[in-house]
Every structure is written in C-alpha cells, then in structure tokens.
Amino acid sequence: MKVAVIGGGAAGLMAAATIRETHPEAEIFLLEKNDSLGKKVIISGGGRCNVTTGIQDVRTVLTKYPRGGKFLSSAMYAFPPERVYAWFEAHGIPLKIEADQRVFPVSNDGKDVVRAFEKVYRHPNVHILLNMQVDDIKRGANGFEINSRGNDEPLVVDKLILTTGGQAYRHTGSTGDGYAFATSLGHTITPLAPSLSSFTTKETWVAQVSGLSFANARLSAGKFNHIGAFLFTHKGISGPAVFALSSLVAFESFDATHPLEIAIDLFPEMEAEDIRQQIVAKIAERPKKQFSNILQTIIPASLVEVMVSGSIIGQQRGNETSKIEITRAISWLKGIPLHATSRGTGDEFVTGGGVDLAEVDPKTLESKICPGLFFAGEILDIDGFTGGFNLQASWATGHLAGENIS
C-alpha cells in the first residue's frame, strides 16, 4: 500500500508517524512545499511550541472549539491530551505543564518536537519529499495521481491524506492550497475567516495604558463573550481572551465605518452593588481623599487617568462624589466600551472554516465523497482557542486518519 500525506505540518507529521508505527508494511510519501518540516509547529507558542493542553477531561477540551467540537469527539477520545503527552515523552521529548495549563517541551524549543517525528521517519519505507509544490491531484483508476512542479511523472498512490493546513501564517507555507485540491476531488469549502487575532480599536486612549494587563476580565461583543486574560496595546487589545473572542466573531464583518462594539468587564465575578459598597467604604475611611485616588486602590492609576481625561469621573473629593457619579464609574468599569475597527495583523494563528465536516466521516476522517481520501488538521472546518487546542486537534485528527488508512 502506497500512501501520500500532503503537508508537513502538525497533522501531517502525526499522520505519517502513525502510519509508520501502525502499518509498517505501508510505503509513505510525505510531501512538503517548504525546505523543512513543521515550520508552523516550530514557531507556535513563541518558538516554544504549545504542544497540547494540560486539561485532562475530554468533554472540557471539546468546549474549546468554537467550530468542529462535536465532529472532533471520536478523534479526541482516541488520542486525548494525555495520550499526546505520553506519545512525545515516549519519543524522547520531555514535556511540562505550566500554570495556565499549556504544555511545552522542557527544552522550550519547538524544533525538538519536529525532531521526534524525523526519528520515526528514518526507515526505507518513508520518503520525505521537501520543496515539493503540488500542482494538482486526480483520482484515477489506480488511485491518486499527484502532479508536482518539476516532475514529469505523477506520483501514484493508493491512499491520500490532505493535511495542508489553512491560510494563516502564509510565510510558513499555509497558503490554502489544500482547499483547491479538496474542491477538485468533489469537496465543499465553507466560508473562511481569520481567527485568533488581536483587535485594533477606534479609541486612541488605549496607547496611554499600553502594556497594562488583567488576568481575569469578561470581553463581550453582542451575543458572544469570553472570560480570561487580556492586555491593552498601542493600537487596541490583545491576549488570550481577545483571541478567543476574535475566534467567536470570526465571521462578523466590521471596519472603521461599522466597528464591532466590545465591552470589557474588569470585575466579572463581582456585582455592581458589591463594587459600590467597596467604594463607599473606602470613601468613609478617607472622605477628603480625591475620588480618583480612591479608585486607584481597585484599578491601576493609568486607567483612572483615562477615566478622568474621558470625563467618566471628576477630580472632586470622595465625600463630594454623588451616587450618580459613583454609578457612572462602576458602569464604565463593568463595561469599558471599545470599538474594533480591524483585526490586528501578525496575530492570526488559524483559519476559521475549511472542508465541510458533513462530507467527512468523523470516526475515520475518510471522505464520504472520494473513497481513499482522508483529511486531518486545519484544512477541516475545525478551529480552537489559544492554549494548545489547535495543535491538539491536529495531533488527534492526524493520528485517527493514520490509523484508519487501511
């Protein structure tokens, strides 16, 4: 049996490794358009490679995918985070779980993750074809004919796994080629959109507090909301909670003329009345202290300055502050209004959308339309929040496709 895996990213790496380890008789061809494997894997997590998540409960893990969570169920239960963790350690890559439940190599070097696969591929039956630009794929009587640039004869294989990724991080080779291949083989591609990006805002005051971060806030945009960490940037907002919200609103259209309205609650676990009582108590302790200084005991001074400059609060003493003024301050803190005009460039990690999941068997990842064709990874209409969930989905789908290739 000859199998071609097109795409040497996370899903492709795991698919090829799984075939090698579970179907030793198979002849494997791993085609990668770059001059090396796993470029996107290596740069993920700031170069440290956020391999997976430390969350063990699969049901909880599946809630971290705004699109494709239900479809992922079979793949995830078959190869959950704990098995991914064990796989890498068994292949000589010690891992560690950090406080935020992200999992990294102990070495903090994403290159080690790719090296684990390269060791598996040291076998006569495995052919790594780098700098291989596939032009088209045809379903023939004898299998799949893969035509690539610079080769006169097509590569003919019995089975094919498409793991070409999405169209994020285009400089790593994720340019969306796989969508054209899938379409040519009869598949439908759902609408595509960038996910996991930062936001640029209409408000310029964010530059005054650039770098200011909060560990726990609720970010809302219409019916969507997410609680987590975020920070202000020179041009807007970024961080895990922002990335998650951007994933949830990936298919929402907005621009400078029609911005996306965002509200930030800095105290998601407190009711407005609880904050009021806290402020009133502090005023009672120091009635002649300026109200702005009192607020600095519960939020950073730089943000209080923004409230003053924006006329949210005045410079009066605490005992001169009316109930209405206190209410206005609390309302702002419980719903800081921002207007996103664009998605931040350079912070896009994954693509929302992809091969229509209704056309793929979730238990095997084989095409329902084209027998012998399998899909894994980001080419599918699956994407998750930041925190190792996208790589976890790639490992899990790559493993399931590899196991079911025969």
pLDDT at position 150, please? 81
What does each of the 406 residues of the chain score in pLDDT, given as a tens digit?
999 999 999 999 999 999 999 999 999 999 999 999 999 899 888 899 999 999 999 999 999 999 999 999 999 999 999 999 999 999 999 999 999 999 999 999 999 999 999 999 999 999 999 999 999 999 988 899 999 988 889 999 999 999 998 875 444 445 578 999 999 999 999 999 989 999 999 999 999 999 999 999 999 999 999 999 999 999 999 999 999 999 999 999 999 999 999 999 999 999 999 999 999 999 999 999 999 999 999 999 999 999 999 999 998 999 999 999 999 999 999 999 999 999 986 445 689 999 999 999 999 999 999 999 999 999 999 999 999 999 999 999 999 999 999 8
- E-state strands within 143-195: 143-148, 155-157, 159-162, 193-195
Q: What number of other Cβ atoms are within 10 A of residue 134's Cβ?
A: 24
CA–CA gap between residue 46 and residue 69 (Å, rounded): 25
d(CA 199, CA 244): 11
Is 383 within 8 Å of 67 (Cβ atoms)? yes
Per-residue burial over 6-30, b = 16 or more CB atoms within 10 Å of its CB, e = otherwise: bbbbbbbbbbbbbbbeebeebbbbb
- Contacts of residue 360, defined as CB under 8 A and 6 or more positions apart, other chains included, come to 71, 366, 367, 368, 375, 380
* Nearest residue to 16 via CA among 155, 79, 382, 24: 24
What per-residue confidence (pLDDT) applies to 364? 98
Is 11:398 a contact under the CB 8 Å cutoff? Answer: yes
* Tokens read off for 1: 């049996």
- Give the pTM: 0.91
Say how far apart CA 373 and CA 138 lie, in whole Å.
11
How would you list the strands of the sheet with 2-6, edge to edge? 126-129, 27-31, 2-6, 159-162, 373-375
Q: How far apart are CA 108 and CA 204, in angstroms?
A: 36
In degrees and rounded to multiples of 5, residue 190 shows phi and psi of -75, 165
Task: Compute the distance between CA of residue 390 and CA of residue 382 in angstroms, rounded to an integer.
Answer: 8
**CA gap 292, 332 in Å, rounded:** 14
Cβ atoms within 10 Å of 55's Cβ, excluding its own: 22
User: What does the alpha-carbon distance between residue 215 and residue 334 come to, in Å, rounded to a whole number?
Assistant: 15
pLDDT of residue 171: 41
Place of tokens 């309302």: 331
Strands 336-343 and 260-265: antiparallel
Cα–Cα distances in angstroms (integers) from residue 161 to residues 95, 125, 164, in the given order: 28, 17, 9
- The pLDDT value given to residue 369: 97
Rounded distance between C-alpha atoms, residue 398 and residue 132, angstroms: 20
Residue 190: CA count within 13 A, CB half-sphere = 20
Residue 86: which H helix or E strand, with range?
A: helix 81-90
The reported pLDDT for the residue numbered 175 is 59
The size of the chain, in residues, is 406
User: Which domains, and CATH codes, for the chain?
Assistant: 2-194+350-403 (3.50.50.60), 197-262 (no CATH), 272-334 (1.10.8.260)
| Pair 55, 97: CB distance under 8 Å | no
Structure tokens at 372: 């012998």
